[in-house]
Structure 1
Amino acid sequence: MTTPAPLLSARDLHVTFPGRHGAAPARAVDGVELDIGAGEIVALVGESGCGKTTLARSLLGLVEPSSGSVRFDGKPLEYSSRALKAYRRRVQLVLQDPSGSLNPRHTVYEAVAEGLRIHGHPGDERAAVAEALSRAGLRPPERFFLRYPHELSGGQRQRVVIAGALVLQPELIVADEPVASLDASVRGEILALLLRLRTELGLSALVVTHDLGLAWNVADRVAVMYLGRIVETGTVEQVLTAPRHPYTQALLSVLPEAPGAPVVLTGEPPDPSRIPSGCRFHARCQILAGGEAERAGVADACRTRDLDILAGTDETQVACHWAHARVTT
């Protein structure tokens, strides 16, 4: 049996920003391969500054890559205004702060209908807005038409943002920290909504988050990003129950239910304009610092030898000399 082609794929993607005041360019995305299948939810996980939002913006066509390619439904993404407008009808963005996403002077109806008006929706606008609000869990939808954002709770505002994405009937949504600004009691409702939309509509999603607990609850697959690259990827069960990369292990160790003492990483993620030689995590790696990499005979490789870019497929992969050494011994 042949594996169906991914709905969205990135191949050897690089996004570089010019350095300030003569500094070296910042390699925000530094060689990424990522696939998202139809009806699949993929979580992109990492600390702030690791490049995950830049990667998401590049997949949306908001940032043109310096090199590499993005393909959607088997076709390369084009960057003309007309092509991007058609693309964004099929791929929609949901931002983390619903208060910042919604114009305080626009009613809920106007906020949800905006996409229809931009794209020239030929059908019944009122019916389309009502259906989107209903699917987002705001029922009866007519009760929300004339409300303004300040009259809604945080969870209701996020549902309006989701309805504004759903109204165009996209095939994929990119949700950037979709519950980060919400109370804990509301987060579960929004995550359950994303899962329900996948079941009811066959919707695919890329969920960008720093929260591995969120990834566990909502994703089929997880891709862990560090300093512009995916360093570990696989099914959510494989990666989060048996993490192989020391960075993934450190991220998981601080969850409340994690066994043992949390791993405290020293320092901040390195500057993307000064990516270190060897494994890009080695300066903060608890395995290297604790002598385990030395005992495995890979300490020099950790400091000097770069690792291959991980493939975008759904197999479990890790970019770590120590993890590879453990498999071969």
Structure 2
Amino acid sequence: MTLLEARDLHVEFASRGRRARAVDGVDLTVGEGEIVALVGESGCGKTTLARTLLGLERPASGTVLYGGAPLAYSARALKAYRREVQLVPQDPTGSLNPRHTVYEAVAEGPRIHGLRDERERVASALSRAGLRPPERFFPVYPHELSGGQRQRVVIAGALALDPEVLVADEPVASLDASVRGEILALLLRLRAELGLSALVVTHDLGLAWNIADRVAVMYLGRIVESGPVEQVLSAPSHPYTQALLSVLPESPAPIVLSGEPPDPTRIPGGCRFHPRCHVLAAGKAAEAGVDGLCRSQPLEVLPSSAALQAACHYARARQPRL
């Protein structure tokens, strides 16, 4: 069952008299009990997509659906929706009020939503997040906690509302390597125990490999490859995914992309990746007879599907024909 869905989503911002297409046609689903990783380099639009799925940004066109129903943007509807779909922010230090105790931080959500049994909710959420005994953390301030403990407090704040979906934006980026595994294990345990679904936004493909069921690779406002995590990351089809994977320590040689990601106000014609594509630059696309398509023929939006798929002329030319 699909819980959260983006359908042909477009998000634009004004930029120096032009329109920046931060999200430029995205279909994406998060199923019940499923963890989906959204990966890509900085500036590709993944955080804007996550904020739009949370109702924090309003799309220029397209639809966000929850439980099959389009998201409404009235204050009352958004308040009810955000109890079901909760954010786990990237920086726990910045998101926690230094003047509030752990108890006050976790109790904030239940108070906003007028939920009863506040103390029991806070204790249960802290315990589920791995802070035990929870009462010991009630009077503690954020500066008295380690980075991993602060991230657990942020997760507890989301759990206090009994959500169905977590949207985690770079949930371990600010943590030491020794703590990252603990937080990832916590997210997997929450999925197993509570049936939680999650969209994990990250630039780290190693993290996606360890936690996700499916992965969606985003470039310049659009998903360019998606599918089961084992298939995408063990044999990537899109040259951009290959380049992202090549920087992992076990990769034989890194693929260095030329230049920076293009300006989202001036998205290139043809394949949006072609100005930086190492496959095109090396002449492999020409050998396959698709170099002209790469430079001139735009690729369609990838549908939301569990199957392996890539928006790449070269990858499609190499697929065996039945």
Q: Shared topology, TM-score over 0.5?
A: yes
Counting only pairs closer than 5 Å after superposition, residues 244-259 of structure 1 correspond to structure 2 as 244-258=237-251
Matched residue type, 1:91: V
* 2:290 is equivalent to residue 294 of structure 1: no
The Cα of 1:246 is off from its aligned counterpart by 0.2
The runs of at least 4 consecutive aligned structure 1 residues that moved more than 3 Å come to none
Q: 1:238 aligns with which of 231, 239, 248?
A: 231
* TM-score of the aligned structures, taking structure 1 as reference length: 0.97
Query: What RMSD over aligned residues (CA atoms) do the two structures have, in Å?
Result: 0.7
1:319 to 296, 311, 314: 311
2:10 is the counterpart of 1:14: yes
> Secondary structure of the residue that 1:18 maps to in structure 2?
strand
Matched, 1:89 2:83: yes
Any unmatched runs of 5+ in structure 2?
none
Q: Percent identity?
A: 76
Number of aligned residues: 321
CA distance in 2, matches of 1:200, 1:225: 30
Which of 12, 23, 31 does residue 29 from structure 1 map onto?
23
Q: Provide the TM-score with structure 2 as the length reference.
A: 0.99
Match status 1:266 vs 2:258: yes
Q: Give the aligned partner of residue 177 of structure 1.
A: 170
Corresponding residue SS for 2:158: helix
Equivalents in 2 of 1:265, 1:196: separation in Å?
A: 37
Aligned residue in 2 for 1:200:
193
User: Using the alignment, how far apart are the partners of 1:19 and 1:110 within structure 2?
Assistant: 39
Task: Tell me if 1:148 matches 2:144.
Answer: no
Matching of residue 55 in structure 1 with residue 55 in structure 2: no
Query: What residue is the counterpart of 1:228 in the other structure?
Result: 221
Amino acid at match of 1:264: V
Cα distance between partner residues in 1 of 2:11 and 2:194 = 32
Q: How far apart, in 1, do the equivalents of 2:194 and 2:108 lie?
A: 21
Secondary structure of the equivalent of 2:190?
helix
Q: Which stretches in structure 1 are left out of the alignment for 5+ residues?
A: none
The match for 2:300 is 308
Structure 2 counterpart SS, 1:26 = strand
Aligned AA (1:267): G
Instruction: Give the drift of 1:19.
Output: 2.2
What amino acid maps onto 1:172 in structure 2? V
Distance between the aligned counterparts of 2:49 and 2:117, measured in 1? 35
Deviations for 1:44-96, whole angstroms, at most 9, x for unmatched residues? 00000000000000000000000000100111000011100000000000011
Matched, 1:98 2:92: yes
Residue pairs, 1:273-284, within 5 angstroms: 273-284=265-276
1:242-286: CA deviations, max 9, x gaps?
A: 10000000000110012x211011111001000000000000000
1:39 maps to 33
Deviation track 1:178-221 (CA, whole Å, cap 9, x = no partner) reads 00000000000000000000000000000000000000000000
